[in-house]
Amino acid sequence: MAGTAARGCSADRVALTPPEPPDGLLGPAAIRELAAELELRPTKQLGQNFLHDANTIRRIVRTAGLAPDDVVLEVGPGLGSLTLGLLPASAAVTAVEIDPRLAARLPRTVAERRPDLADRLTVVEADALRISELPGPPPTALVANLPYNVAVPVLLHLLDLLPTLERALILVQAEVAERLAAPPGGGAYGVPSVKAAWYGEVRRAGNVGRRVFWPEPNVDSGLVALVRRPPPEGDRRATFAAVDAAFGMRRKSLRAALARWAGSPAAAETRLRAAGIDPSTRGEQLSVTDFARLAATDEVQP
């Protein structure tokens, strides 16, 4: 017992004062210093939980599977924790940050810690939900520790805006990760799952605990990987409207849930039958391809 306690003790001491990572990544001390310099008070509204664990950064970069010619889009670079890991693994990084103090500090942080890679970085001060174009070469991969309250809309907006994005690896709240990657049929399957599936194959890519963030969030996090594939045949907007309607009343049968969307319960039933879908089932049973087929029945008359 005494031996165990002694080991625990020394492990604790090491954990409290970890050495700064040798590869320019930001450890806890560097994060503290930067935050103090900027007089930063992280806000929940902007989902500001900064990674201060170099092993987690290395793991995210490894899991992203970047090739040397990849152009990475990072949303919310914050103090630069992930950016510093992405720069050596890619040809260029475009980082979109909404907080002006963080956007202004980032080029200097990279110049101080990795001057050899500084010319690979472009920082854009903007709300990622509102961008309509980006400077530089078109991004091929999205890799980001996303602000949790806007993670899904940011992901969907960027996948729609930037068809050159071949894949994404995002860190989000564990519950959102589960929803994004959920297959049809379960309780976690819903609007985010179907809409993300429009763009590609989605899977969970690992769990991330709370202690690697400053400040510590009060939820666990998870990585989600998306690999783009051609979307189902059909119109995206019309399909997404059907998805929203079906999950707006997810406990009801599709016949009832889609009544307003189709014009009446009878019209909903006609369209569901035309798409080969049983009107008594619920939205959570339908795949994105089913929804696309359903949306394409707009010419069918009751």
Stretch that binds ligand SAM, among 13-21, 78-86, 107-115, 161-169 (CB under 6 A): 78-86
Count of residues near ligand SAM by CB under 6 A = 24
Instruction: Decide whether 169 or 292 has the Cβ nearer to ligand SAM.
Output: 169
Whole-number minimum distance, CB 175 to ligand SAM, in Å? Answer: 15
Question: Is 77 an interacting residue with respect to ligand SAM (CB under 6 A)?
Answer: yes
For residues 157 and 153, what is the distance between their CA atoms, to the nearest angstrom? 6
The owner of tokens 């899977």 is 203
- E strand spans, the chain: 50-51, 71-75, 92-97, 121-125, 141-145, 167-173, 200-208, 213-214, 221-228
Stretch that binds ligand SAM, among 63-71, 92-100, 135-143, 271-279 (CB under 6 A): 92-100
Residues with Cβ within 8 Å of 42's Cβ and at least 6 positions away in sequence, in order, are: 35, 48, 49, 50, 214, 215
Residues with Cβ within 8 Å of 83's Cβ and at least 6 positions away in sequence, in order, are: 74, 77, 93, 95, 106, 110, 121
The closest residue (CB) to ligand SAM is 76
Question: Is 82 an interacting residue with respect to ligand SAM (CB under 6 A)?
Answer: yes
Instruction: Decide whether 43 or 264 has the Cβ nearer to ligand SAM.
Output: 43
Question: Is 99 an interacting residue with respect to ligand SAM (CB under 6 A)?
Answer: yes
Give the pair of three-digit tokens for residue 296: 């394409």
Interacting residue with ligand SAM among 71, 72, 75, 292 (CB under 6 A): 75
Instruction: Decide whether 79 or 224 has the Cβ nearer to ligand SAM.
Output: 79
Which residues, 12 to 51, sit near ligand SAM by CB under 6 A? 46-51
Interacting residue with ligand SAM among 150, 168, 181, 212 (CB under 6 A): 150
Residue 251 to residues 123, 215, 230, 240, 285, Cα–Cα distance (Å): 44, 37, 31, 18, 12
End-to-end Cα, the chain, rounded Å: 76
Residue 111 to residues 77, 80, 84, 175, 200, Cα–Cα distance (Å): 15, 11, 10, 36, 36
Whole-number minimum distance, CB 115 to ligand SAM, in Å? Answer: 21
Query: Alpha-carbon dihedral of residues 238, 244, 245, 248, nearest 10 degrees?
Result: 180
Question: Is 72 an interacting residue with respect to ligand SAM (CB under 6 A)?
Answer: no
Residue 108-147 contact track with ligand SAM, rule CB under 6 A, x = bound: -------------------xxx---------------x-x
Q: Which residues bind ligand SAM (CB under 6 A)?
A: 46-51, 75-79, 81-82, 96-99, 102, 127-129, 145, 147, 150
